[in-house]
Copies of this chain bind each other. A is one copy, B any other.
Amino acid sequence: MQATMTAQRVQRPFGEMLTLFEEHFKTLQLPAQPETLYGSIEYICSIGGKRVRPVLCLMANELFTELKDDAFRAGSAIELFHTFSLVHDDIMDRAPIRRGMPTIHARYGEPTAILAGDLLLIHAYGNLGSISHCCKDQIIELFSSTASGICEGQQIDMDFEAMPIWKVRYEDYLEMVILKTSILLAASLQIGAILAGASEADQHHLYEFGKYVGVAFQIQDDYLDVFGSDEKFGKQCGGDIKSNKKTFLLLKAFELASARQRRQLETLMATDHQDKVMEMTRLYEECRVGEWARNQKRYFHQLAFSHLDKMLLPASAKRPLTELADWLLAREY
Contact = CB atoms under 8 A, between A and B. Distances in A.
Interface of A: 31, 33-34, 36-37, 84, 88, 91-92, 110-112, 114-115, 117-119, 121-123, 125-126, 129, 137, 140-141, 144, 147-148, 151-152, 154-156, 158-159
B123 A155 contact: no
B147 A122 contact: yes
A111 B94 CA distance: 10
Copies in the complex: 2
B118 A36 contact: no
A151 B88 contact: no
The 5 closest A-B pairs by CB, nearest first: A92-B111, A37-B155, A34-B155, A122-B147, A126-B144
A148 B122 contact: yes
A137 B136 CA distance: 10
Contacts of A114: 88, 91-92, 114, 117
Nearest to A94: B111
B37 A112 contact: no
Contacts of A117: 114, 118
Contact of A88 (B37, B118, B123, B158): B118
The listed residue with most B CB atoms (<10 A of its CB), out of A34, A123, A144, is A34
Nearest to A122: B147
B121 A154 contact: no
Nearest to A136: B137
A183 to B, nearest CB: 14
Nearest to A152: B34
Contact of A34 (B33, B118, B159): B159
A228 to B, nearest CB: 28
The listed residue with most B CB atoms (<10 A of its CB), out of A31, A117, A129, A156, is A129
Given A92-B111, A111-B92, A141-B129, A152 B37 contact: yes
Contacts of A155: 34, 36-37, 112, 115
Nearest to A109: B158
11 contacts: A34-B152, A36-B159, A111-B158, A117-B118, A118-B118, A121-B121, A121-B122, A122-B151, A125-B125, A125-B144, A129-B141
